[in-house]
Structure 1
Amino acid sequence: MTIMLKENKQIDQKDLAALYEDVEWYAYTKDLEKLEQALSNSLYVLSAWDANRLVGLIRIVGDGLTIIYIQDILVLNSYQNQGIATRLMDQVLEEFKEVRQKVLLTEEAPNVRHFYEKNGFNSCDKGSLVAFAKMD
């Protein structure tokens, strides 16, 4: 299996729906046109493909100079634990290596915490940082 990474913001709705629904991110698939527009308006989108099948995606928002925000990183369940998310993250961190603030917000889970910590991120519940979010 050869997974190809592509920088592209224009991804077919059915491919996006299959990926986001597989990982049960249903809030995104309620309005696929809005999801397409969100990708289009993102600073950077990197997708992972197995032939013509979308198997993973990372989406970045921000100014790309002083801050990036990792909005989405997801991989089809059947492709997880094969290094795809790490490849996506590695490419983003290389692409934006000069940016000082790299931020993300995610739900707490042991495997999630492990993934981000092994990629150099520190949880704001450790250290001197504080994080706030307002979710509507």
Structure 2
Amino acid sequence: MSISYKNEIPTIEELEELYQSVGWENYGNGLDKLQAYKNSLCVLCAREEGKLVGVVRVVGDGVSIIYVQDVIVHPKYQRNGIGKAMFQKMEMLFEDVYQKVLITDNLKERKDFYKSLGYSTISENHCCTFIKVNLEKKR
């Protein structure tokens, strides 16, 4: 398996296929999703022979904070080091940023993955998190 990594905006068709492969439906219609990607600091794509197989999207100011969003690897390609490689490449781009934040499902496998990359829970840093989700927004 030969995977290439590049900072680029995928097509909406590629994004829709990748999101559907993991069952994510909560990010609005295709145009909303594409606009979110275009507004990002970085979109690191993983491809095999041109096919989009993974993506990590980063938002924020790129100096004091980044928010790691939309970490996706197609199920057929999971557990092959692609997610880890994307994260390591992304972290090299933002190595001097003070805070790197992400929110994920409270599943053991997710927590284990991010802990293996050096991340810790917010409570382990003597902080708390607040979130306000717009549940009224049409998905």
Quickly name the TM-score band, shorter chain normalised: over 0.9
Alignment of 1:8-19 (within 5 A): 8-9=8-9, 11-19=10-18
CA RMSD of aligned residues (A): 1.0
TM-score, normalised via structure 1 length: 0.94
- Using the TM superposition, give the Cα deviation of residue 80 of structure 1 relative to its aligned residue in structure 2, in angstroms: 0.3
- Using the TM superposition, give the Cα deviation of residue 110 of structure 1 relative to its aligned residue in structure 2, in angstroms: 0.7
Deviation per CA, 1:38-71: give whole Å up to 9, x if none. Answer: 1100011100001121000000000001100001
Aligned equivalent of 2:29, options 28, 31, 50: 31
Identity %: 35
Letter in 2 for 1:6: K
Deviation per CA, 1:12-44: give whole Å up to 9, x if none. Answer: 11111110011111112x410111111100011
- Following the alignment from structure 1 to structure 2, what is the Cα–Cα distance between the partners of residues 123 and 39? 26
Question: Any idea what SS the aligned residue of 2:36 has?
Answer: helix
Letter in 1 for 2:47: W
- Following the alignment from structure 1 to structure 2, what is the Cα–Cα distance between the partners of residues 68 and 133? 16
- Following the alignment from structure 1 to structure 2, what is the Cα–Cα distance between the partners of residues 117 and 54? 26
- Structure 2 unmatched runs, 5+: 135-139
TM-score, normalised via structure 2 length: 0.93
Partner in structure 2 of residue 76 of structure 1: 74
- Using the TM superposition, give the Cα deviation of residue 132 of structure 1 relative to its aligned residue in structure 2, in angstroms: 1.3
Alignment of 1:99-114 (within 5 A): 99-114=97-112
Partner in structure 2 of residue 93 of structure 1: 91
Partner in structure 1 of residue 2 of structure 2: 2
Question: Any idea what SS the aligned residue of 1:68 has?
Answer: strand
- Following the alignment from structure 1 to structure 2, what is the Cα–Cα distance between the partners of residues 122 and 52? 34
Displaced runs of 4 or more, over 2 A = none
Number of residue pairs the alignment of both structures matches? 134
- Following the alignment from structure 1 to structure 2, what is the Cα–Cα distance between the partners of residues 131 and 121? 15
